[in-house]
A and B are shown apart, each in its own frame.
Chain A
């Protein structure tokens, strides 16, 4: 496999996988480990929900996260907070510079509203999430707010909000240090109706580094 560009993270590589385009993925990142998500081909939205694997009722909260940092954009220094107000992961490096947590995950049902009833049967992130979390005993009621890595969702002065062209590029990555054991559920976004994937879903790479010491 091609070497990842950018700074290496100290610690042994515990996992190194490619998530194919449109696919779900999940993995428990242990406290102290770092997950690197690499946008291999550029402008690929990676939808992501975090759960406490020991108590899955505790999960990522977009509202807690943006409230605590006072800003809608996620980047280096952002602490991803849980519904219990606890640190789940911290962004320790980010070569893209901006990630979204307002836009939610695409679904068959919301695609129908956004792009027409004819898009009902297109694959969508919620489909991926429901399958990704099922092995952990979770289902529809456990769907919650999510992060969209490499996705660009500005809010204009009049409140207009939308998914616009991404800022990412081939090889851009984000590093997430786990502050607690974290179940990371991912949908490698299959959306083809808006620019979040440059209208062309592509694979992403997941690398888990062991603790630095």
Chain B
């Protein structure tokens, strides 16, 4: 009997039938067109949506977001770990600087009201909402060698992909390389510092009430490139590859105004906005 994929016509029919048959069963995917996204926050208009994508364990994504856009990262099952890098989309030599972010704001723990600062003294994104409070500015993203140590395998092509390789792949698609990977931050798995300087891994926040999800909402203060990877935290003591899916939802919204509460919440934050606004003139 001849195989159904022995001819180009047969292979085409097979590919199309496969797509039609399998798409519905896969939940970790982008919603295209995005207007078909469901389960939207109350204030979000369908016409404003620009991105809806679910990342399963190990997945990554990158996206350019316009000034004012909101990016909501939802921890669907309560055990996600999202590593994040942010660049100026128009001049990516300007990028997230974790040291300046914590130093300028006199605060190492991230939460609502915190800014993500660039290495050019400008705000890239603001954290407008945060229900989790368990985040990390200290630790390295997981890597091939850290996953190899924990899970016996850490290669990108294997079952336990790591955040650093995911960053490198995402950046390569924007013409950037491993020299463009600065320190990163991560959401939904907490790390704090003890009085002697040692770390305490606090893991995920206590579960939300039924039907609700923890989320972090970020506001793009300029045109940004965001790079995200959903991989187990490097300090997670579990020896199995445990990380639950996240949803990334972004929509167009108005740019920050002069009377914005976060913008005016400290002299340092105000100057970070002023420097950006001056730059954008």
A residues near B (Cβ < 8 Å) are 56-57, 59, 61-64, 66-67, 70-73, 83-85, 102-105, 107-114, 116-117, 126, 140-146, 153-155, 157-163
**Residue of B whose beta carbon sits closest to that of A139:** B93
Q: Are B183 and A61 in contact (CB under 8 A)?
A: yes
B138 near A161 with CB under 8 A, answer: no
Which B residues touch A110, using CB under 8 A? Answer: 97, 100, 103-104, 117, 119, 121
Could you tell me the distance between the alpha carbons of A160 and B140 in the complex, rounded to whole angstroms? 20
Q: Which of B100, B109, B138 contacts A66 (CB 8 A)?
A: B138
CB distance from A45 to the nearest CB of B (A): 13
Q: How far is A61 from B140 in the complex, measured between Cα atoms in Å?
A: 8
Known A107-B119, A107-B121, A143-B119; contact A163-B179, beta-carbon cutoff 8 A: no
Complex Cα gap A154–B108 (Å): 10
> Which of the residues A67, A73, A159, A161 comes within 8 Å of B103, measured between beta carbons?
A161
Given the known interface contacts A110-B121, A117-B271, A141-B180, the answer about A71 and B138 at a Cβ–Cβ threshold of 8 Å is no
Chain B residues closer than 8 Å to A84, beta-carbon distance: 145
Q: Give the residue among A59, A63, A117, A162 with the most B Cβ atoms within 10 A.
A: A63
The binding surface of chain A is classed by DSSP as loop
With A and B bound together, what is the CA distance between A76 and B271 in angstroms?
38
Residues of B within 8 A of A154 (CB): 197
Point out the residues of chain B lying under 8 angstroms from A71, CB to CB. Answer: 196-199
- B interface residues, how many (CB within 8 angstroms): 46
Binding site for A on B (CB under 8 A): 93, 97-100, 102-104, 106-109, 117, 119-122, 138-141, 143, 145-146, 177-184, 192-193, 195-199, 234-235, 268, 271-272, 274-275
CB-defined contacts of A108 to chain B, threshold 8 Å = 121
Cβ–Cβ < 8 Å partners of A61 in chain B: 140, 183
Alpha-carbon distance A108/B121, docked complex (angstroms)? 8
Asked if residues B99 and A113 are in contact (CB atoms below 8 Å), the reply is: no
A83, B181: Cβ atoms closer than 8 Å: yes
Tell whether, in the assembled complex, residue B106 and residue A161 are in contact, meaning their CB atoms are under 8 Å apart.
Answer: yes
6 pairs, CB–CB < 8 Å, chain A vs chain B = A72-B198, A72-B199, A84-B145, A145-B182, A146-B99, A158-B109
How far, in Å, is A189 (CB) from chain B's closest CB? 13
In contact, B121 and A113 (Cβ under 8 angstroms): yes
Q: In angstroms, how far is the closest chain A Cβ from the Cβ of B88?
A: 12
A114 neighbours in B (Cβ, 8 Å): 103-104, 268
Do the beta carbons of B103 and A103 come within 8 Å of each other?
Answer: yes
Residues of B contacting A145 in the complex (Cβ-Cβ under 8 angstroms): 98-99, 182-183
By the criterion CB–CB under 8 Å, are A63 and B139 in contact? yes
Chain A residue with the shortest CB-CB distance to B139: A67
Partner of B138, one of A63, A73, A85: A63
A161 to B271, CA, bound (A): 19
B193 touches A104 (CB 8 A): no
Least CB distance from A88 to B in Å reads 14
Q: How far is the CA of A64 from the CA of B179 in the complex (A)?
A: 15
A146–B138 alpha-carbon span in the complex (Å): 13
The distance in angstroms between the C-alpha atoms of A160 and B195, with both chains bound, is 12
Q: Could you tell me the distance between the alpha carbons of A85 and B195 in the complex, rounded to whole angstroms?
A: 26
